[in-house]
Amino acid sequence: MKTKKHGAIVLSNMDEKRINEEFNRYFKSHPLPDDEILHNLGLFLCSKDLSRILFFYEIYKQIVHSHGIIVEFGVRWGQTLSIMAALRGMLEPFNRHRKIVGFDTFEGFKGIGSKDGKSCKCKDGSFSVPYGYEVYLDKILSFQEKLNPMSHLKRYELSKGDATRTVPAYFKKHPETIISLAIFDFDIYAPTKAALSAIKPNLCKGSILVFDELCDDIFPGETIALKEVLGLNNLKVQRFPMTSRLSYIQIR
């Protein structure tokens, strides 16, 4: 089944799709007063979406004792970046070095090629967001920071453009960077390989790399990029039972 939104395959069956559509209708016609909506979003979280948030909570707990920044490669609507900012506010509100940096074209996939196979049915431009969305996301991330201590310091950055150029440029401009956590969610080979290659000199023992598509036959490019840049043989690819697609590696 393909979703209307981004043209990629989704694995829900027809019943799930129907219930999701009805759930969505109820969400849109909710009777909650305006000033209570944001504080009751759990009402609409299903186990799949909640498990993703809990995965990042478990991962964040593992990095609180390691120095360095958090990067996300493939941001789209920015939910994960926003969750990381909230977790930083909860778990280490005074860590001024824990910058959160997100990379995306904000125009969808760029650079899909033969190593990405044919199953995903995506093309360049899939997963795009409305024009100028990064300005909206920037504001959301600034609200997250303003609701937490040290709000006078901006500790996030969004980098717009093709990651094969923007990621190497970022690390050239910031040679002081140490990666504590890198989240890979470009889905496709070319930007994943470019980002892995660019961050490699900035990894240290304890750095964690999270992947959304390892061992995934719909998006083979992510695993191929990892094999080519770090090799698989010395890596332990771990997961939590609650999420199916997310996995992580800790550099040892």
Ligand X SMILES: C[S@@+](CC[C@H](N)C(=O)[O-])C[C@H]1O[C@@H](n2cnc3c(N)ncnc32)[C@H](O)[C@@H]1O
220 counts as binding ligand X under rule CB under 6 A: no
Q: Which token pair is 70?
A: 């958090």
Nearest-CB residue to ligand X? 74
Residue 186 binds ligand X, judged by CB under 6 A:
yes
Part of the chain binding ligand X (CB under 6 A), chosen from 131-139, 179-187, 197-205, 232-240: 179-187
- Of 77 and 240, the one with the shorter C-beta distance to ligand X is 77
Kindly state whether residue 56 participates in binding ligand X, applying the rule CB under 6 A.
Answer: no
Query: Which residue lies nearer to ligand X by CB, 12 or 32?
Result: 12
Please state, in angstroms and rounded to a whole number, the distance separating the CA atoms of residues 85 and 142. 10
Q: Nearest approach, Cβ of 21 to ligand X (angstroms)?
A: 20
Does position 187 interact with ligand X (CB under 6 A)? The reply is: yes
Q: CA-to-CA distance for 226 and 93, rounded, in angstroms?
A: 32
Q: How far apart are CA 223 and CA 135, in angstroms?
A: 32
Supply the minimum distance, in Å, between the C-beta of residue 219 and ligand X: 9
Among candidates 181, 178, 177, which has minimal Cα distance to 63? 181
Query: Of 75, 47, 52, which is closest to residue 183 (Cα–Cα)?
Result: 75
User: Does residue number 156 form part of the binding site for ligand X (CB under 6 A)?
Assistant: no
Overall size of the chain counted in residues? 252
Largest interatomic CA distance in the chain: 54
Gap between the terminal Cα atoms of the chain = 40
Piece in contact with ligand X (CB under 6 A), picked from 37-45, 159-167, 225-233, 243-251:
159-167
Question: CA-CA distance, 22 to 196, in Å (whole number)?
Answer: 40
Give the C-alpha separation, 149 to 169, whole Å.
30
Residue 33 Cβ, how far from ligand X at the closest point, in Å?
28
Scanning 16-24, 77-85, 202-210, 227-235 for contacts with ligand X by CB under 6 A, the matching segment is 77-85
Q: Which is nearer to ligand X, 109 or 211 (CB)?
A: 109
Binding interface with ligand X (CB under 6 A)? 74-77, 79-80, 103-105, 108-111, 127, 162-164, 185-188, 191
